[in-house]
Amino acid sequence: MLEKIKKAGFEAYFVGGSVRDALLGKAIHDIDIACSSYPAETKNIFPRTIDIGIEHGTVLVLENGHEYEVTTFRTEDVYVDYRRPSRVSFVRSLEEDLKRRDFTINAFALDEESYVIDKFNGLEDLKNKILRAVGEPSERFKEDALRIMRGLRFSACLNFTIEEKTFSAMQDHAELLEKISVERSFIELDKLLQAPFWKQGIRYLMLSHAYQYLPFLQDSLIKWEKMLADLPEDFVFSSSEQAWGAVLLYLGIDKTAPFLKKWKTSNDFQKTVEKMLAIYKLRQERKADKADVYRYGLHLMLLVEELRQAQGLTVDFERIKTIHANLTIHHKHEIVIKGRDLMAELQLKPGPELGKLLNQIEEHLVAGHLVNERTAILDFVRKELEA
């Protein structure tokens, strides 16, 4: 990739998080390339490209079965909404491009010979596990307030300490988060909660007062502190749903849907978290039975047990797994007889009575009182109809 761009007479470097992760020995996901070629020039170099952000200088290049985001070196004008620049100017200078990056550990450039270009002492910060804004911190956060949430997330993911001046600027500009789209803030907080050092990220969230400017989190300090105190330091959430279920639990949110809708989450996500909280509530009252395991599924049941274990409560991992393994059916689609079969065999008509019979069949199969065989189910229905 880099060689092709350079052969065409331009500069090109790997930049951003992929360089940072490579230096840290972490797995690399998205690979970003910055170059001195303008978008039209980049498109002339590669036969297969897609305009994904052409106004910002970004072209998606399809090469050798991979996708690469290739962006022209650029500078940015005044930010009008604390998120997007009023204008982007393409430049031929790598240093001018790197100046607009958020943190020093994200402002590296890597050439084709694996030489690291470090204009802001990011290698030293990487070595010392310090998160420091590029240039003047206040300017970086006024340009893009989401960088505050990104900083908290990086701290949680990397176990980095936020440099004093950078953190002070986060505190000073935390109120600007109200101007950021909820979807963007959710993505960062979601990643923070699932990070290995999420507790550190939450502590910074509290100390920066950023939580005060996020949906439904105002005046929640004591509740966050309770969550941090209850869960072990080495506990890591297994999924996004488990993490947000715990947040709702500790925040004392009774109505799950309005809270998660405010955070612009999907309906499926809301339903999953609601189910987790329902499981948690029933487990506070009693042990799970066959009907519970069938209704909610093994995965969610075990996620709740993990949370209970972290809280020091009694758990039933093996019992729940055994119940699930011994269920006659795990989903209604597995039932060998459908409504149309009952109508054909027993001359039943569509309606409430048929629906009631199908529910009875399902309940008896789950309870283990009926085998999932055609003859057995038909005999059961005949007896119900005669009763």
Spatial contact of 288 and 302, defined as CB atoms under 8 Å apart: no
- DSSP line for 63-86: ETTEEEEEEE-EEE--BSSSSSBS
Nearest to 94 by CA among 119, 126, 130: 119
User: CA 233 to CA 306: how far, in whole Å?
Assistant: 14
CA distances from residue 48 to 3, 299, 379 in whole angstroms, order as listed:
17, 42, 64
Say how many C-beta atoms besides its own lie within 10 A of residue 338's C-beta. Answer: 12
Annotated binding site for Mg(2+): 30, 32
Pair 273, 248: CB distance under 8 Å = yes
- Residue entry with tokens 């890597």: 110
Contacts of 128 (CB under 8 A, 6+ apart): none
- Residues belonging to the binding site are 17, 20, 30, 32, 101, 144, 147, 150, 153
* Residues counted in the chain: 387
Residue numbers belonging to the annotated binding site for ATP: 17, 20, 101, 144, 147, 150, 153
Return contacts of 372-378, CB within 8 angstroms, 24+ apart: 372/328, 372/329, 372/334, 372/335, 372/336, 373/336, 374/336, 374/337, 374/341, 377/335, 377/336, 377/337, 378/337, 378/342, 378/345, 378/346
- The three-state secondary structure class of 1 is coil
Whether residue 242 contacts residue 302, with contact meaning beta carbons closer than 8 Å, is answered with: no
Residues belonging to the binding site for CTP are 17, 20, 101, 144, 147, 150, 153
Rounded Cα gap, residues 310 and 236, in angstroms: 9
Residues in CB range of 166: below 8 A, 6 or more apart: 103, 131, 132, 133, 137, 151
Residue 288 is classified by DSSP as -
Give CA 269 to chain center in angstroms: 11
Within 10 angstroms of residue 25's Cβ, the number of other Cβ atoms is 6
